[in-house]
């Protein structure tokens, strides 16, 4: 159908554990759109810095090194990829070490400027439309997105989902780590995690993944009809 290929830019924001990635990939696949996980890009630059001896607790050192790695993101929702200097980074960027350091690296303005420019170029090149997920997409990266969605969920629900993803993880520790990450991401001076004024908020606490996907697909299709 022609409507399945009409161009639309969808921004999906929200904290960790709300179902952003699973929802975004499924919606993009269902509607024939490209997909971009912006968090993976920040993880990738963090991983590169850790591997290259950069002191990620030193903002000046991070800023100086920010432009050195070449990050390339594949946008196929069925098989999203990410490489750093030509090396597949999809597995290494998901380690606990990277997870614990990514907020500090992401808070450095020079890093955000570079990655934001990369994200905008990818979205602009997605001829058929794209679903972009992150924490500042609707507010900073793509403020003119056709549809902005902000996913939320209770800390307990988010921790349970994250613990289910990581075998043997402690539920209480996971919840505390999520709350700490929220505070860091929401409190940073540059492009903090925030809901855009014109975003549709979807609380996923009591919803199954399939229900969330259906909700977002309905919102996207409604936006296409209105357009």
Q: Whole-structure pTM over 0.95, yes or no?
A: no
Q: What is the pLDDT of residue 2?
A: 38
Q: Cβ distance 18 to 134 under 8 Å?
A: no
Average pLDDT (79-101) is 96
Distance CA 114, CA 220 (A): 29
Which carries the bigger pLDDT value, residue 171 or residue 67? Answer: 67
78 token code pair: 């069925």
C-alpha closest to that of 215 among 225, 201, 199, 226: 201
Phi/psi at 159 (5° precision): -65, -40
Average pLDDT (32-45) is 97
List pLDDT tens digits, range 160-219. 887 766 666 778 888 888 888 778 788 878 888 889 999 999 999 999 999 999 999 999
Q: What is the pLDDT of residue 165?
A: 66
Those residues whose C-beta lies under 8 Å from the C-beta of residue 208, and which sit 6 or more positions away, are: none
Which carries the bigger pLDDT value, residue 140 or residue 188? Answer: 140
Is residue 113 exposed (0-12), middle (13-18) or buried (19+ Cβ within 10 Å)?
middle
C-alpha closest to that of 28 among 70, 74, 60, 86: 74
- Scan for tokens 């990050």, then name that residue: 71
Is the pLDDT at 130 greater than 60? The verdict is yes
């Amino acid at each position: 159908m022609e409507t399945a290929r009409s161009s639309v830019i969808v921004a999906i924001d929200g904290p960790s554990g709300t179902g952003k990635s699973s929802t975004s990939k499924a919606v993009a696949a269902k509607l024939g759109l490209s997909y971009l996980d912006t968090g993976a890009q920040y993880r990738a630059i963090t991983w590169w810095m850790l591997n290259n001896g950069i002191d990620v607790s030193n903002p000046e050192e991070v800023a100086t090194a920010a432009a050195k790695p070449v990050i390339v993101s594949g946008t196929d929702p069925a098989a999203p990829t990410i490489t750093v200097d030509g090396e597949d980074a999809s597995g290494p960027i998901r380690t606990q070490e990277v997870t614990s350091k990514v907020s500090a690296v992401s808070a450095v303005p020079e890093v955000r400027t570079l990655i934001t420019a990369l994200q905008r170029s990818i979205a602009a090149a997605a001829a058929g439309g794209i679903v972009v997920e992150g924490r500042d997409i609707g507010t900073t990266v793509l403020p003119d997105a056709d549809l902005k969605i902000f996913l939320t969920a209770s800390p307990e629900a988010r921790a349970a989902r994250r613990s289910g993803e990581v075998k043997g993880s402690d539920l209480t520790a996971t919840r505390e780590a999520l709350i700490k990450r929220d505070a860091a991401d929401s409190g940073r001076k540059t492009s903090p995690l925030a809901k855009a004024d014109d975003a549709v908020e979807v609380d996923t606490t009591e919803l199954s993944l399939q229900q969330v996907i259906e909700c977002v697909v309905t919102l996207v299709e409604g936006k296409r009809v209105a357009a």
